[in-house]
Chain A
Amino acid sequence: MPEEKIKFKERFRIIFKHLPKYRRYLAWGVVAVISANCLMLINPYLLKNAFDKLENKAPSGEILSIALLIVGLAVSSGVFRFAMRRSIIWMSRKLEYDLRAELFSHLQKLNPTFYQNNKTGDIMARATNDIEAVRMMIGPGMMHIGNAVVSTLIAISFMLFLSPKLTLYSLIPLPIMSIVANRLMMIIHRRFMKIQEYFGILTSRVQENIAGIRVVRAYNQEEAEIDDFSGHTGKYIHLNMRLIKVESLFYPILFMIAGSVNLMVLYFGGRSVIGGEISLGTLVAFFAYLTLLIWPMIAMGWVVSLYQRGTASLDRINRILNSKPEVLSQPDSIKDIDVKGKIEFRNLNFSYNGTKVLHNINLTIKPGETVGVVGPTASGKSTLISLIGRLYPVPWGQLYVDDIDINKWDLHTLRRQIGFVPQEPFLFSDTIVGNIMFGINNRKNEIAEKAASLSVIDKEVEEFPDGYETVLGERGITLSGGQKQRLTIARAIAIDPRILILDDATSSVDTETEHQINYRLQSEINKRTSIIISHRASAVKTADLIIYMENGTIAESGSHEQLMDLNGAYARLYRMQLIEEELKRM
């Protein structure tokens, strides 16, 4: 089965990659498992000796030495049992750390397309539940299977040595037990999965009811909703009852089988004792061995399910690790030189997920120039500028920075020169100063304060109780949309980029503040190549060049005056917005 072998290797590639550095733990683990079980399983044999001696009325000193030996063995076995967890489980936790780090590091290389096609919740599930399932397979899974195999082998050898016949008889219930327990576990698992599935339905039903609460109320459907939900809950309970029927069998059956093993020993062993074939001590030792065998038998079924769950999780993790980053630096990329800031689109065409988003874009921006971009939603404005930061793979020969194909630039060198303010202001739950200086290593407070002042957020920040050290997010304060936007502008300015890109960066800022920002930013904008997207035409009025985008093409371009003279879409938009502003003041 070479194919399966390849599949196995491929599937466990990530594990094998990290295992070698833990070979000492592994070796220790094997030694510990074998030693701990060997030592532990001598005890029933000693029990037999003690009983034999008692029957022969041996002096109590001999019993005492056996008793002490039993304690001694337990202590030494305990040391190895400690070592067993300390090596195997320890290794599994370290491996968990490695896997998670590898996953995260890979996630950092993947592009927006990946994140648009995969829900955050799903990715989180990979990083949490799935990694834990893999760890359970490697750690506890390996430990328990090792224990089960070793202790079974040793116990059976001892038993065979003591009495082959009784071994045979007493082991009869064990395979049955193993089969029944496994079968039961499979049914339980199946029914449990059905319940989980239905729990999902139940959850979405509640979610729907709450999300649609206005419709429910307006149409007086409260009673009907309760009825319907009662039906779903009833079905859920019904499924649970089906599970309970088998689940409540599980432990009683285990007890029963454990009991029947004892029953076999009592009967057949008893007959042998009466027949003088074995001593009472041997019978007692059998009781003890079989008690020790029951847990490994149960554990085996459990390990099987750990393995199934673990490999399924591993497959899901591999799916992420196998997705290739779309944008990478070329091997011979242009590194560590300064960008001057010339940007040139040469008849650029761009498709995303199979649809053409940008058509025949021709645009040259000279270093230091300011370009305003306006147009209706989904006209391709944001896509256009995201290509300058190479967020998506750019076709060769269609986009140049400083007359060098953008694909030839080293990603880091290029991005270090771009100050990007995205449409959705995303901040981290860090301090304000940490957020402003997110992009720089040289963290001087003056830089943050200057950037904050340029983005007209300085006054508000200083009013917070902790000033620039104020923590944002769930653990700290929540900012308004406008405040967030201004902080993201500050973050972009702080890195002192050659190219500044603002994607509708002041949409949530009130008009007056916006004017102030424009006023203060003017010098910054003049220093660099700037591209400003805005839904307000007035915000880009003073730009060197304004382009109006529609359906992925540049429909109009020119200065404000030129475009007003053209009296096209831009002029219409501009006039409309004048009325809007007038209306607001009424």
Chain B
Amino acid sequence: MTANNYHEEEVLGKAYDGRLMRRLLTYARPYRVQLIAAVILLLGGSLLQLLLPVMVQIGIDRYLMKGDLNGLARIVLAYGGILLAAFILQYLQMYITMAVGQKVQYDIRMQIFSHLQKLHLAFFDRNPVGRLVTRVTNDVAVLDDMFSSGLVAVFGDIITLVGIIVALLYYNWKLALMTFIVLPLLVLATIVFRKKVRAIYREVRIRLARLNAFVQEHINGMTVIQLFNRENEIYSDFLDINGRLREMHLKSIYYYATFFPVVEIISAVSLAILLYYGGLQISAEALTFGELVAFIQLVQRFYNPIRDLSEKYNILQSSMASSERIFRLLDTEPEIIDKPETSKPSVFKGKIEFENVRFAYKEGEDVLKDISFTVSPGEKVAIVGATGAGKTSLISLLFRFYDYQKGSIKIDGQDIKDMPTKVLRSQLGLVLQDVFIFSGDYAGNIRLGRKDISEEKLKDALKKVNLFDYVMKNGGGLSAEVKERGATLSTGQKQLLSFARVLAFDPNILVLDEATSSVDTATERLIQKALDNLLENRTAIIIAHRLSTIEKADKIIVMHHGELREMGKHKELLEQKGIYYRLYQMQFKQELVRATG
């Protein structure tokens, strides 16, 4: 599971919401045949189970009392047959229901995941990863509970209850009515118990969440506690919170400790009624011994369905809460969508134009102000600027991760909003500063699911970034596992791997956010060489942190506080003695000092 946020208290709402339920049931529609079959099987299974006491009654009255050994054998055989049949029906029913639950779970999970692939990036900025992961994983699992053990089982419980009542009435309606006297008591006891326990558990959950939040917070702040000598005070606070939880738990014990004996007493009362009143009936020859035994056995079967039904309430309640969260996510519309009349795909020559582009993540807080520049095909452009100058936002716009508010961005004269994002992105290559390595093997990390990249091309890409030998010798080959988030590769090697990725995809326009992290000189040289290979024959926009990259650039764009402040070649910009000059002194002179010793 993901990192738990213990502050998030589980908030439970209504147990039933018709609107949500109807929408949930649409997921069951494709499997209605199976579900109907399950209900029929359930009906059969429950009725067969109820036949068993009837068999006992027949056995006693017709054969036992009359001393018929063969008849006894026959009825026992029939009993065995019914047992077996009930077993098969029940097994099939449970299997089918649970299987449907799984299928529904698959469908919903895939729907959420696919939907996430369509949502705009701003959505991901707003929602923490953990929360979204929970939607796809845990929330769906809760729904599975409802489909596989909730819905159909409710039918089963109701059928069983009705079956028992009918059977009792059929045998002897007077005796049946007498035993029904305790039924309201039983239902009442169950309802009261459930209600009390539910209320207490709500409180338990709140107090537990509080305790967990307290522990988590103080584990995180342990150094502060120790430095400020607060161990005793915090410990007494902790005991207080711990005690509050205990208090609730202890309170709940009374309900359990009362409920179970009460059920036993009620069942004893019904047995007593059966014995006394049934005995009177037997004396009056209005009831047989077998029927009395059947009565006793049937009445025992009352308790399970009633208890079950009340448990279903909890399942229903949490599935309502989960489905509400899921539907809210599914109802979030993607904000960046292709226009219907997008033009046909073409191969970019690589001319990029920014015209008066204005952009803000949040209304009123402009991150980019009136940016205009042009990149000619084949040109290499370096973007420099201090942190927060707007460099990353600039390249995010080019990929249409976000839509800008004003101006236009054109590639080969065509506005990027007028082309399908797929086509746009297929022509652009992106290397991020913080290289993202997927779990899986080396090949998978370069191909990223594009099966049309041949093994040749893959090896070629690795060779061009000087990673081939490493992968083959030390890395364990192309199909060796790269650990999650690149634990087995050094920072420099991760960069090289991401270069190989771009080379394999071979885009016409390359967008690169150079890594700032320092690597050793040998790796630096490798990266330098690989970078040269990467830039060959491509239009490139580079957020530059390396002096060499900047010196080689055809054009340097200087960003400052969201504005394009200076533009030109390295020498020209230095002569201006403006922002670039100072940035150069700050960032690159240091590098120069280090490089020359």
Interface positions of A from 205 to 239, Cβ below 8 Å from B? 205-230, 233-234, 237
Chain B proximity of A125: nearest CB distance (Å)? 9
Residues of A within 8 Å of B2, CB to CB, are: 203, 207
Contact A291 B425 (CB under 8 A): no
Interface size class of B (residues with CB under 8 A): 35 or more
Contact B94 A206 (CB under 8 A): no
Give A425's nearest chain B residue, CB to CB.
Answer: B224
Residues of B within 8 Å of A217, CB to CB, are: 121, 399, 401, 425
Known: A43-B271, A274-B63, A280-B60. 14 other contacts (CB 8 A): A54-B279, A60-B283, A78-B265, A89-B256, A203-B1, A220-B426, A221-B450, A245-B95, A256-B86, A260-B80, A287-B293, A439-B229, A475-B7, A586-B579
Contact B1 A219 (CB under 8 A): no
Asked if B227 is at the interface (CB within 8 A of a chain A CB), the reply is yes
Asked if A262 is at the interface (CB within 8 A of a chain B CB), the reply is yes
Give B272's nearest chain A residue, CB to CB.
Answer: A67
User: B449: which of A85, A112, A225, A287 is its contact (CB, 8 Å)?
Assistant: A225
B: which residues have CB within 8 A of A? 1-4, 6-7, 49, 52, 55-56, 59-60, 63-65, 67-69, 72-73, 75-76, 79-80, 83-84, 86-87, 90-91, 94-95, 98-99, 102-103, 105-106, 109-110, 113-114, 116-118, 121, 124, 129, 132-133, 136-137, 141, 208, 212-213, 215-231, 233-235, 238-239, 242-243, 245-246, 249-250, 253-254, 256-258, 260-262, 264-265, 267-269, 271-273, 275-276, 279-280, 282-283, 289, 293, 296-297, 300, 386, 399, 401, 422, 425-426, 428-430, 432, 436, 438-439, 448-450, 484, 501, 505, 560, 578-579, 582-583, 585-586, 590, 593
Asked if A353 is at the interface (CB within 8 A of a chain B CB), the reply is no
How many chain A residues touch the partner (CB < 8 A)? 140
Residues of A within 8 Å of B448, CB to CB, are: 215-216, 219, 221, 224
Contact A244 B99 (CB under 8 A): yes
Chain B proximity of A216: nearest CB distance (Å)? 7
Chain B proximity of A232: nearest CB distance (Å)? 10
A: which residues have CB within 8 A of B? 40, 43, 47, 50-51, 54-55, 57, 60, 63-64, 66-68, 70-71, 73-75, 77-79, 81-86, 89-90, 93-94, 96-97, 100-101, 104-105, 107-112, 115, 120-121, 123-124, 127-128, 199-200, 202-230, 233-234, 237, 240-241, 244-245, 247-249, 251-253, 255-256, 259-260, 262-263, 266-267, 270-271, 273-274, 280, 283-284, 287-288, 291, 389, 391, 412, 415-416, 418, 420, 422, 426, 428-429, 438-439, 441, 473-475, 491, 495, 572, 576, 579-580, 582-584, 586
User: B227: which of A50, A60, A123, A418 is its contact (CB, 8 Å)?
Assistant: A418
Contact B219 A115 (CB under 8 A): yes
Contact A270 B76 (CB under 8 A): yes
- Known A90-B250, A115-B219, A576-B586; judge A271-B110 contact (CB<8 A): no
A99 to B228, CA, bound (A): 25
Residues of B within 8 Å of A251, CB to CB, are: 90, 94
Residues of B within 8 Å of A582, CB to CB, are: 582
Contact B220 A206 (CB under 8 A): no
Residues of B within 8 Å of A207, CB to CB, are: 2, 129, 133
A267 to B425, CA, bound (A): 77
Contact B117 A225 (CB under 8 A): yes
How many A-B contacts at CB < 8 Å in the complex? 365
Residues of A within 8 Å of B256, CB to CB, are: 85, 89
Contact A291 B300 (CB under 8 A): yes
A512 to B250, CA, bound (A): 56
Residues of B within 8 Å of A262, CB to CB, are: 52, 56, 79
Residues of B within 8 Å of A475, CB to CB, are: 7
Contact B229 A412 (CB under 8 A): yes
Contact B231 A108 (CB under 8 A): yes
Chain A proximity of B558: nearest CB distance (Å)? 11
Residues of B within 8 Å of A576, CB to CB, are: 585-586, 590
Residues of A within 8 Å of B422, CB to CB, are: 220
Contact A70 B223 (CB under 8 A): no
A-B contact pairs, 11 of them (CB 8 A): A70-B272, A78-B264, A93-B253, A115-B222, A230-B110, A262-B79, A267-B72, A267-B76, A391-B227, A418-B227, A426-B221
Give B435's nearest chain A residue, CB to CB.
Answer: A215
Chain A proximity of B430: nearest CB distance (Å)? 4
A438 to B69, CA, bound (A): 86
Contact A228 B432 (CB under 8 A): no
Contact B279 A63 (CB under 8 A): yes
- 5 closest A-B pairs by beta carbon, nearest first, are A224-B449, A78-B261, A74-B268, A248-B94, A85-B257
Give A109's nearest chain B residue, CB to CB.
Answer: B231
Give B263's nearest chain A residue, CB to CB.
Answer: A78
Contact B261 A79 (CB under 8 A): yes
Contact A226 B110 (CB under 8 A): yes
Contact B56 A249 (CB under 8 A): no
Chain B proximity of A76: nearest CB distance (Å)? 10
Contact B98 A248 (CB under 8 A): yes
Residues of A within 8 Å of B116, CB to CB, are: 209-210
- Known A94-B246, A108-B235, A224-B450; judge A256-B275 contact (CB<8 A): no
A85 to B252, CA, bound (A): 11
Contact B64 A274 (CB under 8 A): yes
Contact A219 B242 (CB under 8 A): no
A115 to B224, CA, bound (A): 13
Contact B91 A252 (CB under 8 A): yes
Residues of A within 8 Å of B484, CB to CB, are: 204, 208
Contact B4 A124 (CB under 8 A): yes
Residues of B within 8 Å of A495, CB to CB, are: 228
Contact A415 B229 (CB under 8 A): yes
Chain B proximity of A506: nearest CB distance (Å)? 18
Contact A121 B3 (CB under 8 A): yes
- Known A97-B246, A121-B3, A124-B6; judge A47-B275 contact (CB<8 A): yes
Contact B279 A583 (CB under 8 A): no
A487 to B208, CA, bound (A): 29
User: B579: which of A111, A206, A234, A583 is its contact (CB, 8 Å)?
Assistant: A583
Contact A211 B436 (CB under 8 A): yes
- Known A47-B271, A210-B129, A226-B114; judge A240-B102 contact (CB<8 A): yes
Chain B proximity of A499: nearest CB distance (Å)? 11
User: A63: which of B246, B276, B425 is its contact (CB, 8 Å)?
Assistant: B276
Contact A234 B106 (CB under 8 A): yes
Chain B proximity of A581: nearest CB distance (Å)? 10
User: A271: which of B69, B133, B590 is its contact (CB, 8 Å)?
Assistant: B69
Residues of A within 8 Å of B229, CB to CB, are: 412, 415-416, 439
Give B3's nearest chain A residue, CB to CB.
Answer: A121
Contact B121 A248 (CB under 8 A): no
Residues of B within 8 Å of A205, CB to CB, are: 439
Contact A256 B59 (CB under 8 A): no
Chain A proximity of B156: nearest CB distance (Å)? 11
Contact A219 B505 (CB under 8 A): yes
Residue among A89, A108, A247 having the largest count of chain B Cβ atoms under 10 Å: A108
Residues of B within 8 Å of A418, CB to CB, are: 227
Give A281's nearest chain B residue, CB to CB.
Answer: B289
A343 to B243, CA, bound (A): 43
A54 to B450, CA, bound (A): 83
- Known A124-B219, A204-B484; judge A284-B132 contact (CB<8 A): no
Contact A203 B137 (CB under 8 A): yes
Chain B proximity of A381: nearest CB distance (Å)? 16
Contact A274 B227 (CB under 8 A): no
Contact A54 B282 (CB under 8 A): yes
Residues of A within 8 Å of B76, CB to CB, are: 263, 266-267, 270
Contact B4 A255 (CB under 8 A): no
Residues of A within 8 Å of B219, CB to CB, are: 107, 115, 120, 123-124
Contact B238 A89 (CB under 8 A): no
A90 to B252, CA, bound (A): 10
Contact B222 A249 (CB under 8 A): no
Contact A263 B242 (CB under 8 A): no
A580 to B257, CA, bound (A): 72
Contact A583 B113 (CB under 8 A): no
Residues of A within 8 Å of B80, CB to CB, are: 260, 263
Give B258's nearest chain A residue, CB to CB.
Answer: A82
